[in-house]
């Protein structure tokens, strides 16, 4: 009798488990249908849904059906009409960034002796504020690793500013350097060399090419050291970077030579024809780009001398002569000098 009771109890628990699993499956299906309904119109099946923030409604752009109503506005409750008002009314700090060693999450005590209302702080509190400011600077960098990281990121920012690089390139370079620190690739190498190599890798990742010579001019290490360190960190971190295309250099060189958009388009067209005939492989991208710009400037009647193009591209006149002769012969371009 006891064994029969045990068997019945086991069967009962198994039935309860099956019921619970069926119930969970139904709830998941309901959630899936709700999520599908929020991104797809149930009437016409369209995916072009528009948020009407004045009426707090989600409306289908095709058939006009109100899919959802009374949704919550995730934005701030205040309004601002210019940048100053937005900065005054905002109650949050700057966004997180990898270009600062603590990712911008620490507190900064301002150097101005004023409170949050803009009023001047009394002379009694100024001595205490000075001490707080001094200790705040000290505790931001707690150990040698953070000190080295802070120095490296400031060096990255200095080089990026000298080269006129955008924010996303700086962020990418900081991420590459942090990965190198995590894998202990800095040991035995100079911080400046690894920072310069990380910046060069970030430029190639973001399709904003800069040559090793340009990086070497703004850094405190040699071109050879940057190239060697770059090859090492790209191998260790598994950075898959495609070779730089000469087309990526055309906008910058044309801007430096004050050429029209017509010349730039013609140079890109010449380079595409050259890449189809595999004339760009095995040659320096800057030299090929400079030669294409030189040819395009002559064809479009906005002539620039070989010396002017060579100075902007950072190469010699001999390189331009050799490359433009190759392109003109292979692509059957008649150049009247």
* 197 vs 86 pLDDT, higher one: 197
pLDDT value, residue 29: 56
CA geometry: angle 278, 282, 286, nearest 5 deg: 95
Topology of domain 246-331, per CATH?
Answer: Cyclin A; domain 1 (1.10.472)
Tell whether the model's pLDDT for residue 121 goes beyond 90.
Answer: no
Residues 6+ apart with CB under 8 A from 293: 250, 253, 254, 257, 259, 263, 267, 304, 309
Burial of 142 (0-12, 13-18, 19+ CB in 10 A): exposed
Task: Report the percent of the chain where pLDDT is more than 70.
Answer: 87
Q: In this predicted structure, which of 65-79, 159-173, 254-268 has the lowest mean pLDDT?
A: 65-79
Question: 51 has which bridge partners?
Answer: 58
pLDDT value, residue 35: 43
* Candidate ranges 11-15, 52-56, 60-64, 215-219; pick with highest mean pLDDT: 215-219
Predicted TM-score (pTM) of this structure:
0.67
Task: Report the percent of the chain where pLDDT is more than 90.
Answer: 29
Q: Which homologous superfamily is 144-237 in?
A: Cyclin-like (1.10.472.10)
Annotated binding site for Zn(2+): 41, 44, 60, 63
Q: In this predicted structure, which of 49-53, 292-296, 318-322 has the lowest mean pLDDT?
A: 49-53
pLDDT level of residue 36 (50, 70, 90 thresholds):
very low
Tell whether the model's pLDDT for residue 26 goes beyond 70.
Answer: no
Q: Is 324 helix (H, G, I), strand (E, B) or coil?
A: helix
Give the number of other CB atoms < 10 A from CB of residue 235.
9
pLDDT, mean of residues 112-118: 75
pLDDT level of residue 218 (50, 70, 90 thresholds):
very high
Tell whether the model's pLDDT for residue 34 goes beyond 70.
Answer: no
DSSP string over 61-78: TTT--EEEESPPP-S-SS
Q: In this predicted structure, which of 89-98, 207-216, 243-252, 311-320 has the lowest mean pLDDT?
A: 89-98
For the chain, domain boundaries: 43-75, 144-237, 246-331
pLDDT, mean of residues 283-298: 91
Q: Is the separation of the CB atoms in 309 and 290 below 8 Å?
A: yes
Nearest-angstrom CA–CA distance, 238 and 121: 53
pLDDT value, residue 160: 93
pLDDT value, residue 37: 41
Residue 333 host element (H or E):
none
Note the Cα 4 to chain centre separation in Å.
Answer: 69
The reply to whether 144-237 and 246-331 are identical in fold is yes
Annotated binding site: 41, 44, 60, 63
* Candidate ranges 38-47, 108-117, 136-145, 211-220; pick with highest mean pLDDT: 211-220
Q: Is the separation of the CB atoms in 35 and 5 below 8 Å?
A: no
pLDDT level of residue 242 (50, 70, 90 thresholds):
confident
């Amino acid at each position: 009798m006891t064994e029969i009771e045990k068997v019945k109890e086991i069967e009962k628990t198994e039935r309860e488990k099956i019921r619970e699993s069926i119930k969970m499956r139904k709830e998941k299906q309901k959630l899936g249908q709700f999520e599908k309904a929020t991104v797809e119109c149930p009437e016409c099946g369209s995916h072009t849904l528009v948020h009407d923030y004045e009426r707090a409604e989600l409306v289908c752009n095709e058939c006009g059906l109100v899919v959802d109503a009374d949704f919550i506005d995730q934005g701030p409750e205040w309004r601002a009409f210019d940048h100053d008002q937005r900065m005054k009314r905002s109650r949050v700090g700057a966004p997180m960034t990898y270009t600062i060693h603590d990712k911008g999450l620490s507190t900064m005590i301002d150097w101005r002796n004023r409170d949050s209302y803009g009023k001047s702080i009394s002379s009694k509190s100024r001595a205490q504020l000075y001490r707080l400011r001094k200790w705040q600077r000290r505790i931001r960098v707690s150990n040698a690793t953070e000190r080295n990281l802070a120095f490296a990121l400031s060096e990255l920012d200095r080089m990026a500013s000298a080269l006129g690089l955008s924010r996303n390139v700086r962020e990418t370079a900081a991420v590459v350097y942090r990965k190198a620190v995590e894998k202990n690739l800095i040991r035995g190498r100079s911080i400046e060399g690894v920072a310069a190599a990380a910046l060069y890798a970030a430029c190639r990742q973001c399709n904003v090419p800069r040559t090793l010579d340009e990086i070497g001019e703004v850094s405190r290490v040699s071109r050879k050291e940057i190239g060697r360190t770059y090859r090492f960190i790209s191998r260790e971190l598994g950075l898959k970077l495609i070779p730089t295309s000469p087309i990526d250099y055309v906008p910058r060189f044309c801007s430096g030579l004050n050429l029209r958009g017509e010349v730039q388009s013609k140079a890109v067209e010449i380079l595409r024809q050259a890449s189809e005939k595999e004339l760009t492989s095995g040659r320096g991208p800057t030299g090929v780009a400079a030669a294409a710009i030189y040819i395009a400037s002559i064809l479009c009647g906005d002539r620039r001398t070989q010396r002017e193009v060579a100075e902007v591209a950072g190469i010699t006149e001999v390189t331009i002569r050799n490359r433009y002769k190759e392109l003109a012969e292979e692509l059957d371009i008649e150049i009247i000098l």
